[in-house]
Amino acid sequence: MLATLFGGGLPQLVMFDLDGTLIDSVPDLAAAVDQMLAMRGRPPAGVERVREWVGNGSPMLVRRALAGSIEHEGVDDDEAALALQDFLRAYDGSHDATTVYPGVSELLQWLRSRSVRLAVITNKPERFVAPLLEEKGLGSFDWIIGGDTLPVKKPDPAGLIRVMQEAGVAPQHSLFVGDSRNDVQAARAAGVKVVAVSYGYNHGRPIEEEQPDLLVDSLDALI
Ligand SMILES: O=C(O)COP(=O)(O)O
Ligand SMILES: [Mg+2]
């Protein structure tokens, strides 16, 4: 199905979002959020609300959790900084509740066997990314950009632009695959075609609203 997006050929570079696209990480993220809240005598947020708050990086997730809402105005900066440290310490533990979505391993194997170069560009802090990919058996990627690798994160296209420059691959030969509006906006700003998955996290909104080039229910549909 990829061939239809690339004039009968394949992209030379495929860049993937992580949370909500390759792995369902919300159970472990919610556990860490709830631990951070419990340390403050606050009730748990729970998986459903955390699912709506993920996607703009850990500092924003923690601010939303402290506000109890995706709108996080009025959260104290010092409190948010301390809460972020507690959240990161809690998230540093087990990732046993995190699972790989169906079809992901099949697509990665198929692309690798065709020498397509691969990157992960996520808003998750960089230090968690390589260990998680390894632990979940997703193999190695040529580039990993986390939410704190560059001064800006998605929806800014800087991560995509950096990887394309290092790969020496032009935008028209590159593809981004993600689950949220941050991904679609970053890909558009980088001039890259974008495939969206229907099963991920998009702040409680249908990802169709962002008009990706293609929408799939599982990644092996791209094979
Ligand atoms: O917000 C996060 O921490 C993760 O987000 P992403 O992997 O979907 O970019
Ligand atoms: Mg995502």
- The DSSP-derived string for 61-78 is HHHHHHHTSS--TT--HH
- Pocket-forming residues, ligand 1, beta carbon under 6 Å: 17-20, 54-58, 122-124, 147, 154, 180
How far apart (Å, rounded) are the C-alpha atoms in residues 88 and 69? 20
ipTM > 0.85 for the complex: yes
Q: What is the pLDDT along the chain (223 residues), one digit of tens a residue?
A: 888 899 999 999 999 999 999 999 999 999 999 999 999 999 999 999 999 999 999 999 999 999 999 998 899 999 999 999 999 999 998 899 999 999 999 999 999 999 999 999 999 999 999 999 999 999 999 999 999 999 999 999 999 999 999 999 999 999 999 999 999 999 999 999 999 999 999 999 999 999 999 999 999 999 9
Task: Sketch out the chain's domains with CATH numbers.
Answer: 2-25+99-222 (3.40.50.1000), 26-91 (no CATH)
How far apart (Å, rounded) are the C-alpha atoms in residues 206 and 108? 25
| Per-residue pLDDT at 222 | 97
Q: 42: which DSSP letter?
A: P
| Per-residue pLDDT at 73 | 87
Question: Which positions are annotated as active-site residues?
Answer: 17
Contacts of 150 (CB under 8 A, 6+ apart): 158, 159, 162
| Per-residue pLDDT at 1 | 81
What is the position in ligand 1's atom list of the atom closest to the CA of 124?
3
Mutate to test the pocket of ligand 1, among 17, 92, 123, 141 (most ligand atoms within 8 A of CB): 123
Question: Does the annotation list 28 as a binding residue?
Answer: no
Phi, psi torsion values for 107, nearest 5 degrees: -65, -45
| Per-residue pLDDT at 54 | 97
CB distance 113 to 119 below 8 Å? no
Provide the token pair at 192: 């890259």
